[in-house]
Amino acid sequence: ASDPFNSRKDQQFKRKMGLSFAKLFSRLFAKKEMRILMVGLDAAGKTTILYKLKLGEIVTTIPTIGFNVETVEYKNISFTVWDVGGQDKIRPLWRHYFQNTQGLIFVVDSNDRDRAVEARDELHRMLNEDELRDAVLLVFANKQDLPNAMNAAEITDKLGLHSLRQRH
């Protein structure tokens, strides 16, 4: 007599389930790659952050004319981080880096109250770009160690972050 729990249909079902679990497992644990764009006003600390992520140490930097790009590995994710110069004359070039960007790190100098409005305007201008509509946003409040640094609530207010709630 044949085993009723080992029919041909049952074997096919088990094989399909095995393949489904294998696919799910590989999706969950396979190496992922993400393209991250890091922007912000000049002297916000973008390049310092990039090399701290990459090398684990603080390096001496000079103003970025153009860009720096590094691959940063974290767990099973490989981030390609593009650090783009923030001087006002080269900000119009930022848009050339928008395509295929999955994550946006906007770096703010927490100690630079005088340019908070300028930072807000640049951030909102960028977020209105169609190519960035699906990008996840991280606002990085840098230089928090300085005594006069704006706190998170003040940065949220000055950058108008509450109006961005509909974003990821």
40 is in an annotated binding site: yes
132 is in an annotated binding site: no
Count Cβ atoms below 10 Å from residue 81 Cβ, excluding itself.
Answer: 21
| Residue pair 105/37 in contact by the 8 Å Cβ criterion | yes
Within 10 angstroms of residue 94's Cβ, the number of other Cβ atoms is 20
Catalytic position from the list 11, 87, 102, 166 = 87
85 is in an annotated binding site: no
Burial 44-76 (b: 16+ CB within 10 A, else e): bbbbbbbbebbeeeeeeeeebeebbeeebeeee
Closest CA to 109 of 63, 38, 44, 42: 44
Quick check: is 87 catalytic? yes
Annotated binding residue at 89?
Answer: no
47 labeled binding residue: yes
30 assigned binding-site residue: no
| Residue 149 known to bind ligand | no
Does residue 56 have a known ligand-binding role?
no
The candidate with the shortest Cα–Cα distance to 52, out of 75, 36, 70, is 70
Instruction: Determine if residue 144 is labeled as part of a ligand binding site.
Output: yes
Name the residue type at position 53.
L
160 is in an annotated binding site: no
| Tokens 């006069």, located at residue | 148
Residues annotated within a binding site for GTP: 40-47, 86, 142-145
Residues annotated within a binding site: 40-47, 64, 86, 142-145
Catalytic positions, written as ranges: 87
Residues annotated within a binding site for Mg(2+): 47, 64
